Structure 1
Amino acid sequence: MLGNLFSAEGISELLLSLPAVLWAITFHEYCHGLAAKMLGDTTAERAGRLSLNPLDHLDPLGALCLLLFRFGWAKPVPIDTRYFKHPKRDIIIVSLAGVAGNMLTAFFCAQLVRFVPGLFVSWGARQFILLMIYINLGLAAFNLIPIPPLDGSRILYVLLPYQWMKYYYWLERYGMFVIVGLLVLGVFPYIMRPIMALLFSILLI
């Protein structure tokens, strides 16, 4: 996308991406907070994060990455596992809730294209719905990577054998540096490709 960013088509795509990015990160974090509340933890709600206001969830760098590279992140929703009746199970449910929200959005958009194709005869409408699908799948795939603070790391935390926890704690401390380093080195596309392929296959079932 960066190559044609300043062309007329590139600018149009960038503008169409903005609402798709804002929805993707907002609904992702809202689903985390809603799942936590349903499992007994109201921390996110008390922190004002059980909200569909994008400003409550926006991480500027993460949103910019999602806008330009189709993968990124938002401010993590706070949870307190002490409220969970089954902490290991509930952490996994809350962690996957954001991914599920993005997959649900992508599925809904795909069904609109399938059953109401007349809505997308114009380039703008067609491009927007494709961006909604791709950006939501990109955010879901990125968050499945098991590097803190991404959602996949919480699942890894629950499943990791005790003797390996020291490596997890190290990764938790330097996770954002690892993410930025992999981003700068251009490694993420290779990590994302198989995850995106898996999510697309699920979407098309």
Structure 2
Amino acid sequence: MDEIIQGIAIYALPVIFAITLHEAAHGYIARHFGDFTAHNEGRISLNPIRHIDPVGTILVPLSLFILSKLTIGAGFLFGWAKPVPVNFSNLRQPKRDMLWVAAAGPGANLLMAFFWALMIKLAIASPDSSFAKPLALMGIAGIEINVILMVLNLLPLPPLDGGRMAVSLLPHRLAYQFSRIEPYGFMILLVLLFSGVLGAVIGPMITWAKIMIVSIFGLYI
């Protein structure tokens, strides 16, 4: 039980910020390209409280984390925040700009993974400090959750960010046909998750991304 409580304390901030800033980034880029929907609803904010979904941001990640500690091979940690509202028709060039709005979420996760890598470097540079070990463990957690969310959201499956990026890049007729998958996207994702296919597909990509990040910062974790 003590291990679970300590783990929750380490993962809490990285998970909350990974999920909520991902959404805020969508709203920020949408505003840049002409859609002020998220701005008008106060969703372009670094305040996690504005983005937290009680189920997706707290209950699901917490449950998955506890399950991972109690069982073997319980899967990976993920979650979601309240989706930032984006009216794509308000974008100056909707089909083109959709690419950048969608890419903003995974991009934010990549930047946060870099941030947590820097925190590990700081911890290593101050080995005698009382905050060194907790900061290093939090940094490892931060890289883990942000890489998972980045890779997962880049899957070309609507309504994931990768699906919207694919819609933006495909020719109009193919984009329309592909976008019709969106109502079934979450169901497809759950089937892939519980069948083990999702883990088999994104597992190597997650491992590669983590190796790339720690290599860039000269870390050995």
TM-score range (shorter-chain normalised) is 0.7 to 0.9
Match of 2:48 in 1: 54
User: C-alpha separation between the residues in 2 aligned to 1:120 and 1:91?
Assistant: 45
Match of 1:199 in 2: 209
Partner of residue 15 from structure 1, selected from 9, 31, 35: 9
Partner of 1:124: 134
In the TM superposition, residue 201 of structure 1 has moved relative to its aligned partner by: 5.0
Equivalent positions of 1:4-83 (< 5 A) are 7-63=1-57, 64-67=59-62, 68=64, 69-83=76-90
Is contact 2:119–2:136 with CA below 8 Å preserved after alignment?
Answer: no
Sequence identity of aligned pairs in percent? 38
Is residue 182 from structure 1 mapped to residue 192 from structure 2 by the alignment?
yes
Q: Which 5+ residue runs of structure 1 have no aligned equivalent?
A: 1-6
Q: Within 1, Cα distance between the matches of 2:146 and 2:41?
A: 25
What is the CA-CA distance between 1:55 and the residue it aligns to? 3.3
Q: Which sits farther off after the overlay, 150-159 or 109-118?
A: 109-118
- How far is 1:166 from its partner? 6.3
Task: Assess, with a 3 A threshold, how the Cα gap between structure 1 residues 126 and 39 changes in structure 2: closer, same or farther.
Answer: same
Aligned length in residues: 199
In structure 2, the partner of 1:89 is: 96
Q: Secondary structure in 2 aligned to 1:40?
A: coil
TM-score (norm 2): 0.78
Aligned to 1:140: 150
- In the alignment, the residues of structure 2 paired with residue 120 and residue 22 of structure 1 have an alpha-carbon distance, to the nearest angstrom, of 27
How far is the alpha carbon of 1:66 from its aligned partner? 4.2
Query: Normalization by structure 1: what TM-score?
Result: 0.83
CA distance in 1, matches of 2:33, 2:175: 26
Q: Extract unaligned runs of 5+ from structure 2.
A: 65-75, 217-221
Which residue type is aligned with residue 109 of structure 2? N
Deviates more, 1:192-201 or 1:123-132: 192-201
CA gap 1:146/1:60 in 2 versus in 1, 3 angstroms: farther
* 67-76 vs 43-52, greater mean Cα deviation: 67-76
| Deviation for aligned residue 1:65 | 4.3
